[in-house]
Amino acid sequence: MNITYFLFFLCIIVCTLIITYWAARQSKTTNQFYIAAGSLTGIQNGMAIAGDYISAASFLGIIGTIAINGFDGFLYAVGFLVSYIIVLFFIAEPVHHLGTYSLGDVICSRFPSYKMRGLMAISTLVISILYMIPQLVAAGLLIRLLLNIDYSISVLIIGSLMTIYVVFGGMFATSWVQIVKTVLLISGTFLLSLIVFSRFNWSITNLLEQVKLGTPLGDQFSLPGNLFNNPLETISLQLALILGTAGLPHILIRFFTVRNVVEVRKSVLTASWIIGLFYMIALILGLGTVALVGYQELVTIDPTGNLAAPLLAEELGGDFLMAFISAIAFTTIVAVVAGLVISATTAFSHDIYYHMIKKGNTTERKQVRVAKWTAFVIGLISTLFALGLKNMNVTFLVSLTFIVAASSNLPVLLLTIYWKRFNQAGALTGMVSGLTASLVLLFIGPHIMNPDGGWIAREALIPLYNPGIIAIPIGFLGAYLGTIMSGKRQESSAEFHAFYIRAQTGIDTRRDVS
């Protein structure tokens, strides 16, 4: 075991546990546990959103993908960043105005129903757990590689940490762990990019010339087609990334942690600037890896490219810098997983336990206790899945979560807020059709059905690795057809107008309507 790596990891663990101890003293009520009592400023919340959003797939995966595939690798970053335009203009403020703790609150503000609330909770749990599994697997592999600790022990360490953060600290601890992660991530990667530039006399031209010499792709490195030969695959992936963010529950519930819409806007703008800056840095680090580490050496050590950032850090600063960058990767995984756990916890304890089981008849203390037990169980389930899937490639689950969010949550959110004719039958149909289509297309696609090493040794029925271009329209179509074919009474213009004003301004005019 490298003692430098161990000390950096230990420092991260101690710091985050101190944050959790402080947060535990402020997480006594449901308002404090679920949304940090709305006490975050827009800038703090924006930093937390960035910390919640930039996952291991972004930090380790995109830098490696750029290093191996050039232009196509950067397409991922573009899709992730552009998604926040939709969140800013269409989703963020209405979610803040209509919800209290969960996405179920948002939809049920117009369609109050146990079915609707239960379905939204199930969708949140599915998305959160699917997204958690690859994060935990990546964490286990990273710690095993750097500290020479057994994979199972590594996953148990991460699983235990994320559960401790949420069980004891709730949203307070989760938010501040994410803020610390953002500061470390941006400062560490920015420092690394400056060192890269210094090696080429601060000239981007010199860097690009060395990249051409360092990769077998040559001029093709800066052109599309290295990763995606099928244009339909590229479009499908971009659709999932751009639209999926606006339906991710662990991102959207962060808009409840600020007090007003001014802070909501600051949150999205701050997150967008941080995420945009990070992806520009990721581009530099990807190019720097090819130029300084070498394409062939990277592929030899790690064909997936996930170790590009640590290998670049080792090349530039030896064990110390590599340990620092690896510790940032560790913090990245912990912060994202904690955000997913709090999202899933809120969905079960608030939507299912408080509203559906207890029907609102329970005490604050019992709600918080159930929330903590829920966090423990969800952490345990996710950890067990990660332990069982250690020998399988589960990276496809990251893109799957975006497809599920874009095809099930997003249609219902958008149509609930903006379509007067939309009704509960349409919302239920849209959720079910989008979720079902996503999972079915996954099982009949090349991730699962593949004669060259897939889970099922047969030809895939659908050739797309990212079937968002099929699943997302099915979700919207299901919502539309469910509405027009249900034959149920539509809201009056006055009722929808009152709801729409509340969604856009937070002003409840329903008394005037009645």
pLDDT value at residue 511? 55
Give the pLDDT score at 226: 77
314, amino acid identity: E
Tell me the C-alpha distance between 377 and 436, whole Å.
25
Asked whether 256 and 99 are in contact (CB, 8 A), the reply is yes
Is residue 287 domain-resident? yes
| Domain assignment of residue 418, yes or no | yes
Mean pLDDT of the 309-336 span: 87
C-alpha span between 140 and 151 (Å, rounded): 5
Q: What is the CATH number of the domain that holds 238?
A: 1.20.1730.10
Residue 472 maps to a domain? yes
Query: Domains in the chain: how many in total?
Result: 1
Residue 261 structure tokens? 């819409």
* Res 136: pLDDT: 85
Q: How confident is the model at residue 69 (pLDDT cuts 50, 70, 90)?
A: confident
Phi, psi dihedral angles at 456 (to 5 degrees): -120, 120
Lowest mean pLDDT among 37-46, 81-90, 160-169, 503-512: 503-512
- DSSP state, residue 284: H
Q: The whole model's pTM is what? A: 0.91
pLDDT, the chain, mean: 88
Report, in this order, helix, strand and coil percent for the chain, each rounded to 5.
80, 0, 20
Q: Which residue has the tokens 């690798």?
A: 73
In a domain, 494, yes or no: yes
**Span 133-158, mean pLDDT?**
81
Q: Looking at residue 223, what is its pLDDT?
A: 82
Q: Is the pLDDT of residue 514 over 50?
A: no
Domain hosting 241: range is: 12-513
Q: What is the dihedral of CA 241, 188, 131, 450, to 10 degrees?
A: 70
496 burial (CB, 10 Å; 0-12 / 13-18 / 19+) is: middle
Asked whether the predicted pLDDT for residue 491 surpasses 80, the reply is no
**Predicted local confidence at residue 513, as pLDDT:** 41
List 449's β-bridge partners, or say none.
456
5 belongs to a structural domain: no
C-alpha span between 250 and 255 (Å, rounded): 10
- For the chain, percent of residues with pLDDT exceeding 70: 96
Higher pLDDT, 8 or 258: 258
Binned at pLDDT 50, 70 and 90, residue 457 comes out as: low
Residue 480 is assigned to a structural domain of this protein: yes
Instruction: Determine, yes or no, domain membership for 3.
Output: no
| Residue 512 pLDDT | 46
Q: Residue 343: which residues within 8 A CB-CB, separation 6 or more? A: 124, 128, 249, 250, 253
In a domain, 4, yes or no: no
